[in-house]
Structure 1
Amino acid sequence: MSRYLPIMLDVQGKLVVMIGGGAVAERKAAPLLEAGAALVIVSPALSGTLAAAAAAGRLRWISRPYAPGDLDGAVLVYAAADDEAVNEAVAREARRLGLPVNVASRAEAGSFITPGILRRGRLTVAVTTSGAGPSVAAEITRQIAGLLGEEYEPYLDFLHELRTAVKRLEPAPEPRARLLRRLGQLDVLNDMRQGTFIPWTPEDIEAWVESNREE
C-alpha cells in the first residue's frame, strides 16, 4: 500500500490541466475551481456543469482530444478521460515532465490521489482511504461534517483576527508566544454554536491582550 504525504497546495491562479470532460472530470474539477486554479480542460466534449463553468469563464475548454504538449506549463495534471489508454499516455507525459499527476482510471499509475474534502471557511479537512473505497471516504467525510458544524467558520475567523492583533500589539517574543498559546483556551466556540456569542470590538481585543500579557 502506498503511504501518501498529506499536503495542502496553493493553486490560486496556477495552471492545472485536466484531460477529460465527463462526470469524473466534473467531480475532480469542483475543488480546483473552488481553490481558484486556472483550470484548462482538454476534451472533445464537456458535461453540462463543466460546459456552464466554461461559458461563465471559470475554466478554459480546448475542444479536441488530448495531444502531447498539452501539459506544458502546468503545475498539476489530471488524467480523467473515459479512455484508459489516453489516461496512461497523459501519465507518461506528466512523469517525463516531472509533473504531479492524478489518474482517475488507475490510481497507482499517478503520483497523487484526491481526498474527500470538507470546508468550513478557513478549516479544510481531507479524508482518504488510500484507494480502498472512494464511497467510504465520502461517507466518512459526511460523518465529520456532522461533528464540525458551520460555527467553525466564524470561530476560526475570530481566532485569526485575534492572532493578527496579538502579533501587532505584542512585539516581544516570549509574551507574544504566551498570548498565542492562550488563544486556544478561549471558550467562545460553544457560544457561537448556541448563537450567544457577542463579537469583540477592537477595544475588547486590546483589553484581552493587555490582561493576558503577564503570567
Structure 2
Amino acid sequence: MEKYEFYGESFLSYPVFLNIKDLPCLVVGGGRVGLRKTLGLVDAGARVRVIEPRPSENLLEMEKNGQVQIKAAEFVPEDLGGMRLVFAATQKAEVNALVAQEAGKLGIWCNIADDPSGSDFFLPALVKRGDLMLAISTGGKSPALARKLRMDLEKIFDAAYLPFLELMGRLREILLAEGHDPEGHRDLFRSLVEGPLLEYIRMEDMETVALLLEPIAGADAMALAVSVIKEHPARKSPEKGECFPEKEGS
C-alpha cells in the first residue's frame, strides 16, 4: 500500500483491479482524454455511456458498432442514474467538479481527468499483454516517469508473453482436469517460467517448446504448442498485444 501526498495532504491508496464486465459506466466528455477512458472501459467489457454534445467520428463509429451509447447533450445530474463508475473528462473544470460532486452524493466512484487529488480513484500507467497487466504509479507526482517506465516495460514484456501466459494457463487446466494439484508441480512450473521456454516461443521453435511441455501435456504437447503459438489471436490481430496507453495519475 502506498502513501501519496497531494498539495500537503496525504492518503493511503489501495491498488486493485476491478471487474467491471457488463457494469454501467459513464464518461462525461468525448475529447482526447474522454475517448481514451472510453476505449479502456470498452476493453474491460463495461457497458459505456458517453455524454458529449459534439461526438467525434471515432465515438460515432463505436456507437454504430454497438460498443457505446452516446448522449449528444450537456451533462445533467440525472445522467448518473444507475452508474457504477464515472469519468469526468471534459475540458471545463467546473463541469468536472459538478460531475464529481453529484456522483459523490450517490456514492458513485468518480475519476476527474488530471486531478487525482479530487478523484475517488486514479488510473496507473499500464502495460497489457493479454491477461498479463503491469500497473505503474508514481502517485501522480511524475506522469513523465511513469510513461518512461511503461515504455521500458513494453520492451521487456513483448508480445511473446501472450502465448507464454496462455500456455501456463492451459497446463494448469490439464492438471486440474486430471485431478492433480497444480501446486504439486510447482518446481516444474518454476522451471518453465525461469527457463528458456519464452525464448523458444519467440523463435517459434515448436519442437523444443513441445519437448518442454511434454511432462504435463504428454502426447498432446505439439498440438498444444501449435494451437497456442501459431494460431494465437495476437498473430492475426497484433493490437491485442499492444500496451494500453493510459496516462498515469489521470
The TM-score with structure 1 as length reference comes to 0.86
User: Would you say the 8 A contact 2:24–2:49 is kept in 1?
Assistant: yes
Task: Tell me the alpha carbon deviations over residues 20-60 of structure 1, each in whole angstroms, 9 at most, x when there is no partner.
Answer: 11111012222111112111011212233223212322110
Report sequence identity in percent: 26
Q: 2:150 & 2:175 partners in 1: Cα distance?
A: 34
Change (3 A) 1:46 1:130: farther
Give 1 or 2: higher helix fraction.
2
> Which of 12, 23, 39 in structure 2 is aligned with 1:30?
39
User: Superposition RMSD on alpha carbons, in Å?
Assistant: 2.2
The answer for the alignment partner of 2:138 in structure 1 is 129
The answer for the alignment partner of 2:129 in structure 1 is 120
Higher relative contact order (CA 8 A, sep 6+): 2
The answer for the alignment partner of 2:156 in structure 1 is 147
Q: 1:196 & 1:138 partners in 2: Cα distance?
A: 34
User: Would you say the 8 A contact 1:84–1:105 is kept in 2?
Assistant: no
The answer for the alignment partner of 1:73 in structure 2 is 82
Task: Tell me the alpha carbon deviations over residues 150-180 of structure 1, each in whole angstroms, 9 at most, x when there is no partner.
Answer: 1100000000000111112134x5xx42214
The answer to whether 1:182 aligns with 2:188 is yes
Unaligned runs of 5+ in 2: 6-10, 220-250
The TM-score with structure 2 as length reference comes to 0.75
Give the letter for the 1:78 counterpart: F
Q: 2:112 & 2:34 partners in 1: Cα distance?
A: 11
Task: Tell me the alpha carbon deviations over residues 69-109 of structure 1, each in whole angstroms, 9 at most, x when there is no partner.
Answer: 21121121101111111111111122121111100142211
Q: 2:114 & 2:94 partners in 1: Cα distance?
A: 10
SS in 1 for 2:80: coil
The answer for the alignment partner of 2:48 in structure 1 is 39
The answer to whether 1:196 aligns with 2:205 is yes
> Which of 20, 40, 62 in structure 1 is aligned with 2:29?
20
Q: 1:47 & 1:126 partners in 2: Cα distance?
A: 29
User: Would you say the 8 A contact 1:166–1:179 is kept in 2?
Assistant: no
User: Would you say the 8 A contact 1:22–1:81 is kept in 2?
Assistant: yes
User: Would you say the 8 A contact 1:166–1:180 is kept in 2?
Assistant: no
Unaligned runs of 5+ in 1: 209-215
The answer to whether 1:90 aligns with 2:90 is no
SS in 1 for 2:67: coil
Q: 2:198 & 2:128 partners in 1: Cα distance?
A: 17
Change (3 A) 1:180 1:96: farther
Give the letter for the 1:22 counterpart: G
Change (3 A) 1:204 1:63: same
Change (3 A) 1:185 1:125: same
Give the letter for the 1:64 counterpart: A
